[in-house]
Each structure stands twice: as structure tokens, then as C-alpha cells.
């Protein structure tokens, strides 16, 4: 086991990253496999970049069986070397039988989806491999199993058990696990509701390189919720996430640029960041773009932005979509469709939507 792989297996991700980069330059296929895992699961500062992950698995495949297995998950059928893949799977299964938690986790990834027309998906087997790896103390399996139990993904939901596995990974200093455990503490999902502890976990996640936590912390500092209000710190946190390509970070930093009370006002840069954030999947950015269109009198464009964000499940966007349909702004008035969106918004916590439903008897 190389130094980089050893550090990675122990969950010392920042140290491992430097060692793995060095070992990859020296031609280590296992180092390339581990780097691919960083990009695939968004570990440390890397962010989730499947294309980058696939490239690293491809580079490591000729010399490392786990990289070969992971590479196959990204290839088109005609590009899969079936003989080489079969040999690689046999080697990984042999390591798993010998007790390698890392090999077990690799098999979990393989059997979760399978390789079309080559290896069939086997979800029960995948879950067993993940559970065995988690019970052996491998942080990556603990984190993944915890998330699946928390969300009921492929297995029956068990929030309490999911939070337990996440805490085991979080106790090893895994930023992504700390980030999701913070949500558990905030929502009381699988554990006692504890906002102060949630903030502490978000702060730990950020210290351990999981930059997505910067957005949540930024919102808290901006609003003065669970922490002392500090708009300057909020903007710094948003910028940190934005600089890493986080869509929500870009959207919230755009707010700072538009307001101009903490950083120099720059409407043009703000508009560009909203567009980038919207392309990156930020419902919040879509709403902000819709509001801008509304203010400029372009109701049709505003409605399209609101509808897109509403379909992503954002309560504020669902309310605004319903409002547009009710008032015929940017779209033909439709009370029935308006009622549908307003009810969804109300069910998701929008007080404004509830008040509008009562006001118009919808």
C-alpha cells in the first residue's frame, strides 16, 4: 500500500491528496484510482466532477484493477474491454474476500449500477458490500451507507442508523460527512435537533475542505441565525464557495455584488454570476433572474425562470409561479394551475402561498 493510499484509507484526505498527486505522476494506478474517487464523490476541495473522475480512472485502468472496474462504469458498451474487466473484477473480489474494505467499496459501486450487457446490477449484493466495508470502519462506506439510509435510497429509510454511520465518518474528520450530519442536527433527522451543533459541523466541514458548507454558514452569518450577524463574513464565505464553482455560492455572492453594501457594487458581474449559477442548477439563481426580469417589465421571461425553479422544488418559486398564473403575468391566467402551485408552495412552508389560497378561496 502506497503512502497516499494509506492516508486516503485512513480518511486523512488533505495529506493524501498531496501524496496521491505525487504518486500519480510516478505512474501509480492506485493513486489515480483514489484521485478519481475524490472527483466522483466531491471529497475535499475537488468538488464533484464525474468527467474528471472518469479521466483519472481511465489513466489508472491499465495497471490497477479497481481503476479498471470504475472506468467501465463510465464507458460506452463498445469501449468496454470485457476480458480485462472480468480479470479486474476477479482481482477486486479476491481482495474483498481477503478483507479489503476498499475493494468491498469498489464492488459496491460496480454492483449498484452494473455495466450494461456485461455485468448485471445486483443491488442487494452492492448493499452488502457497502455494509461490510462500513462495519470494517472504512469512512467512505460509512458515509455512503449513512446517506442512503438517511434518504431511503435503494434500501429502507432509517434516519437514526443513517445519522449514526455519518457520525462515524464525521468523527474521522471527513468534511462531506460533517456537512450532511450538520443537516441532521439542524432538522432533527435521525438525531436530536441541535442548531448550534449543526453550525459547528458546518464549520468543521469547511475546515476539512468541503467548501459547499461555506454557503450554509454564509446564510447564517448574513441573517444572524444561530450565529452573530456578520454580513462581511457572509460575503467572504459566499465568495469562497463561488470561487470553487459552487452554484449556490455564485448566486449568493451575486447578491453581495448587487447590494454593494459590503463589497463594491457590480451589477454586470452579478448578472453573469446569476446566469452561471442558474446553469449550474441553482433554483435560487433562477428566482433572482426572474425577479430581475419582473422589475424590468419582462413578465414572460420572469415566469419561465420561476417555473423552472418551481419544478426543482423551491417553495418561493412555486409561490411566484402560482402568483403569475393567478394574475396572468407572463402567462395566461389559470386559477386551477395557480392553485396547484400555491398548494405545493404552502405544503413546503410558504406562508405567502397559504395566505393567497385563503384570500382567493383556492
**pLDDT at position 49:** 86
Mean pLDDT of 292-310: 94
**pLDDT at position 272:** 95
**pLDDT at position 153:** 85
**pLDDT at position 155:** 87
Q: What is the tens place of the pLDDT at every residue in 218-258?
A: 999 999 988 999 999 999 999 999 998 899 999 999 999 99
Mean pLDDT of 76-91: 93
**How far is it, in rounded angstroms, from Cα 224 to Cα 118?**
54
- pLDDT band for 46, please (50, 70, 90 cuts): low
Mean pLDDT of 159-170: 96
- pLDDT band for 362, please (50, 70, 90 cuts): confident
Query: What Rg, from alpha-carbon coordinates, does the chain have?
Result: 23
3-class DSSP string for 11-74: CCHHHHHHHHHHHHHCCCHHHHHHHHHHHHHCCCCCCCCHHHHHHHHHHHCCCCHHHHHHHHCC
**pLDDT at position 361:** 80
| CATH T-level assignment (fold) for domain 298-362 | 1.25.40
Q: What is the tens place of the pLDDT at every residue in 31-42?
A: 999 999 999 988
Q: What is the chain's length?
A: 362
Query: How many Cβ atoms sit within 10 Å of the Cβ of residue 323?
Result: 19
pTM for this predicted structure: 0.85
Averaged pLDDT of the chain:
93
Lowest mean pLDDT across 44-58, 145-159, 227-241, 338-352: 44-58
Residues 50, 242, 222, 203, CA torsion sign: positive
**pLDDT at position 154:** 81
Report DSSP letters for 86-140, one per residue: HHHHHHHHHHHHTT-HHHHHHHHHHHHH-BTTTB---HHHHHHHHHHHHHTT-HH
**pLDDT at position 209:** 85
Q: What is the tens place of the pLDDT at every residue in 201-216?
A: 999 999 998 888 999 9
**pLDDT at position 42:** 84
| Burial of 221 from C-beta contacts in 10 A (0-12 / 13-18 / 19+) | buried
Lowest mean pLDDT across 243-252, 284-293, 338-347, 352-361: 352-361
Task: Find out whether 88 and 71 touch, Cβ atoms under 8 Å.
Answer: no
**pLDDT at position 297:** 92
Amino acid at each position: 500500500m502506497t503512502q497516499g493510499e494509506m492516508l486516503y484509507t485512513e480518511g486523512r484526505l488533505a495529506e493524501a491528496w498531496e501524496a496521491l498527486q505525487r504518486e500519480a505522476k510516478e505512474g501509480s494506478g492506485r493513486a489515480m484510482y483514489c484521485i478519481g474517487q475524490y472527483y466522483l464523490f466531491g471529497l475535499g476541495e475537488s468538488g464533484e466532477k464525474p468527467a474528471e473522475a472518469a479521466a483519472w480512472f481511465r489513466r489508472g485502468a491499465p495497471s490497477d484493477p479497481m481503476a479498471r472496474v470504475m472506468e467501465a462504469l463510465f464507458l460506452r458498451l463498445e469501449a468496454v474491454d470485457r476480458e480485462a474487466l472480468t480479470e479486474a473484477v476477479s482481482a477486486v473480489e479476491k481482495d474483498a474476500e481477503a478483507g479489503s474494505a476498499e475493494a468491498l467499496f469498489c464492488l459496491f459501486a460496480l454492483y449498484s449500477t452494473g455495466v450494461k450487457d456485461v455485468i448485471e446490477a445486483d443491488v442487494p449484493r452492492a448493499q452488502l458490500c457497502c455494509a461490510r466495508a462500513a462495519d470494517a470502519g472504512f469512512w467512505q462506506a460509512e458515509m455512503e451507507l449513512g446517506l442512503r439510509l438517511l434518504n431511503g435510497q435503494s434500501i429502507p429509510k432509517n434516519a437514526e442508523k443513517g445519522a449514526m454511520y455519518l457520525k462515524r465518518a464525521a468523527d474521522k474528520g471527513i468534511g462531506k460527512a460533517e456537512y450532511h450530519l450538520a443537516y441532521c442536527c439542524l432538522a432533527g433527522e435521525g438525531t436530536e435537533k441541535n442548531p448550534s451543533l449543526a453550525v459547528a459541523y458546518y464549520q468543521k466541514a469547511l475546515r476539512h475542505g468541503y467548501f459547499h458548507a461555506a454557503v450554509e454558514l454564509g446564510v447564517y452569518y448574513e441573517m444572524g441565525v444561530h450565529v452573530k450577524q456578520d454580513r462581511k463574513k457572509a460575503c467572504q464565505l459566499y465568495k469562497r464557495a463561488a470561487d470553487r464553482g459552487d452554484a449556490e455560492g455564485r448566486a449568493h455572492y451575486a447578491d453581495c455584488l448587487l447590494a454593494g453594501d459590503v463589497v463594491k457594487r457590480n451589477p454586470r458581474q452579478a448578472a453573469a454570476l446569476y446566469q452561471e449559477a442558474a446553469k449550474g442548477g441553482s433554483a435560487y439563481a433562477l428566482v433572482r433572474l426572474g425577479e430581475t426580469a419582473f422589475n424590468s417589465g419582462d413578465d414572460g421571461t420572469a415566469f419561465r425562470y420561476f417555473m423552472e425553479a418551481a419544478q426543482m422544488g423551491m417553495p418561493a418559486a412555486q409561490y411566484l409561479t402560482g402568483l403569475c398564473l393567478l394574475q396572468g403575468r407572463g402567462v395566461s391566467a389559470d386559477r386551477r394551475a395557480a392553485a396547484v402551485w400555491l398548494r405545493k408552495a404552502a405544503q413546503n412552508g410558504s406562508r405567502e402561498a397559504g395566505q393567497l389560497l385563503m384570500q382567493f378561496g383556492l
